[in-house]
Structure 1
């Protein structure tokens, strides 16, 4: 409720009832997602909440000690809502299972880590916001996939904790790692450059046969 009150204080249209805050989910101190809606088609609810160059949302962010806030346009179209809830990631497609209240979300490789977010916050909040259990599925090139190898297959050559580090950023197959830039991998994982290079050497051998 605290965050809703802040929206009422900072955003006149929310206070006046022109914009409704549909749902708020947050991990205090880390991140929040707020779904907003307006009954007036002339109003852009997200734009009004964010303000010119983010002026309105900055006030709220400061108030929360710099918590990251995503403002999302609410929609009753579940597929679209899930897609929006996972921003900043760009979702390719969504497959919904209404009975289980779950959804498979298909993303390109480079979007996976954005969808999951730091510490898994983004996907967790998107799930809470939409009320669906979200499962991220990486889209690969079908040709490559046939020829790809799960990283766990290399457990006799690559230590478990190293495989775990790659898995944390959504990389769990040989090709998913080989498609990345070394400097990028070092930056995104807690691994030393020589460890990353060693892993790449082992993986490359697999495909050179």
Structure 2
């Protein structure tokens, strides 16, 4: 292989990897200097001239002519006078000898080593480039193609065929993807494993939902509406607090769109996650009221980092939500623990029976399910409609009718 062929073959390889010209030249020069250092013990007395446009490569070696008996006559940048005169008869002491080196002058092993070093340098550069690219994209929304589906993660490819990873823990529980499908996710982090960059994506982080809102809502893109905070139970429910800097804009209405036209695409992307959009306010009591919607609050009492919320008995289940989901998300949105209590201060307390007394007539697991949604007495259940109770807990209509009959009979008796 001659000098020009080496340059041409490497330039084509580097181009296929999207490496810029200055970097190609730098890599070539670094590798060639490493070869010279290995062969001659020094690379400082070499000039390497590379012209990618013409595919030219020139390597010049410079040595000072010294006396045959000089102590440094064997130094890499020196040449004895007798040897110099074998090259050109009229050389004198102190003159500089310049020789052009050819790749073909080196052994096959040295040439192969040089080619391997070039490939290795490019791979190292690819890794560095990949790390730097995605380190700057952390928190950004990207689209990638599903390449391989494993039990613990999905491997995706970006538009440059770089591998990206979506762990099972960062997938929405209802996510189902096929090979070749394009999916959206945010860049969560970039780690280094065995000197190899590993780009981790996520679809469960709050910022994923935030980026979807930014994409779909023009007022957010324009800075007219700001997202204050997002809390999520991925795939199940989310609460999004928004505010506007223009009094003429309804931030909640703008995010929802006419007949839900704007929010629909977002909800579909997150597997029909139930998204509550809340108008942010500095008024803590009003903010809590909005966060606990659809429940209606009677009064709020604050104590250190905990807040007590009092509601009518028939509103407690709404405030808590299925499996305590509503109260948990509201607490995270507010940033303080919320405790829900039945408010009997403005009502004459009616005769009631704790559900714990129905162990003999109602299955214990059913009583446990009722307790989870904030129902702890016979009357608290009967104040709800059958349809509402069916929405709150996973029971058959027959079972619900039987519960109502047992509780109603007990109270009347």
Task: Show the counterpart of 1:109.
Answer: 313
Separation in 2, partners of 1:34, 1:144: 37
Distance change in 2, residues 1:187/1:196 (3 Å): farther
Superposition map of 1:44-193 within 5 A: 44-97=250-303, 99=304, 101-140=305-344, 142-145=347-350, 147-155=351-359, 159-180=363-384, 189=393, 190=395, 192-193=399-400
Distance change in 2, residues 1:104/1:9 (3 Å): same
Map Cα deviations across residues 111-148 of structure 1 (whole Å, 9 max, x no partner).
22221222221111111100121111123464235x33
Q: What's the secondary structure of 1:144's corresponding residue?
A: coil
Q: As a proportion of its length, which structure holds more strand?
A: 2
1:155 CA displacement = 4.2
Q: As a proportion of its length, which structure holds more helix?
A: 1
1:81 CA displacement = 0.5
Separation in 2, partners of 1:62, 1:123: 24
Once structures 1 and 2 are overlaid, which stretch shifts more, 195-204 or 164-173?
195-204
Map Cα deviations across residues 53-96 of structure 1 (whole Å, 9 max, x no partner).
11111111111111111100001111111100011222222222
Once structures 1 and 2 are overlaid, which stretch shifts more, 180-189 or 33-42?
180-189
1:182 CA displacement = 6.3
5+ residue gaps, structure 2, are 1-206
Q: What's the secondary structure of 1:143's corresponding residue?
A: coil
Distance change in 2, residues 1:174/1:33 (3 Å): same
Structure with the greater relative contact order (CA < 8 A, sep ≥ 6): 1 or 2?
A: 1
The root-mean-square deviation of aligned C-alpha atoms, in Å, is 2.5
Matched, 1:203 2:410: yes
Tell me the TM-score normalized by structure 2.
0.45
Is contact 2:322-2:373 (8 Å) kept?
Answer: no
Tell me the TM-score normalized by structure 1.
0.84
Map Cα deviations across residues 30-60 of structure 1 (whole Å, 9 max, x no partner).
0110000112111111111111111111111
Q: Paired residues, what number?
A: 203
5+ residue gaps, structure 1, are none
Between structure 1 and structure 2, the one with the greater Rg is 2
Which one of 205, 223, 248 corresponds to residue 42 of structure 1?
248
Distance change in 2, residues 1:143/1:186 (3 Å): same
Once structures 1 and 2 are overlaid, which stretch shifts more, 183-192 or 80-89?
183-192
